[in-house]
Amino acid sequence: MASFDIVSEVDLQKLDNAINVTVKEFSNRFDFNGSHTSLELDKKTLVLLLITENEMRVKSVVDIFISRMMKQGLDSNCLDLGKDEYASGNMIRKEIKVKQGIDKESAKKIVKIIKDGGFKVQASIMDDQVRVTGKKLDELQSVIAKVRSSSLELSLQFNNFRN
């Protein structure tokens, strides 16, 4: 029986590289000259903390960061852009959560997409991933194509392909 896993993971090294390039870029830009802008990643909780002076700079940093993520090969669907909070003084604080794993509702949607496709495979939810098993590799590749073409708001990867 052949199988593969559908997961939602973020490569932390690529994410860290995107953060470093973003910090370097906005520190060299003229419109950020003299500003107190910072972007840091808490690796334990996977939360990006952005602190800056005004909403225009928040939007600029987020746009730069998303473009740098794309260049690193990361999907921006893995980010949960929260609300802007006003910190002390005139500073704005924004927490951006990095989503890891597939939640139960999304996993059920993936399983439903696979079942509705009429494939001769079995999909099972295992913690924060979905395992798909079947007899034929062609069926599994068709399942991958079907899930990729679906309109899920998730960053999905297909790994652990076994024959």
The string of pLDDT tens digits covering residues 47-73 is 999 999 888 888 999 999 999 999 999
In this prediction, residue 60 carries a pLDDT of: 92
Find out whether 46 and 141 touch, Cβ atoms under 8 Å.
Answer: no
Average pLDDT over residues 33-58: 90
CA angle 99, 27, 41 (to 5 degrees): 25
- Weakest mean pLDDT among 31-35, 87-91, 127-131: 87-91
In this prediction, residue 84 carries a pLDDT of: 79
| Domain pair 2-8+101-162 / 12-98, same fold | yes
* H helix runs in the chain, sequence order: 12-28, 55-72, 104-116, 137-149
Given the candidates 3.40.50.2300, 3.30.70.860, 3.40.50.920, 3.30.70.60, the CATH classification of the domain at 2-8+101-162 is 3.30.70.860
Cα–Cα distance for residue pair 85/64, rounded to 1 Å = 20
Confidence of residue 154 (pLDDT cuts 50, 70, 90): confident
Q: What's the full length of the chain, in residues?
A: 163
Query: Domain 12-98 adopts which CATH fold?
Result: Alpha-Beta Plaits (3.30.70)
pTM of the entire predicted model:
0.81
Average pLDDT over residues 136-147: 89
Cα–Cα distance for residue pair 3/123, rounded to 1 Å = 10
- Residue spans per domain, the chain: 2-8+101-162, 12-98
The string of pLDDT tens digits covering residues 97-128 is 998 888 898 899 999 999 888 889 999 998 88
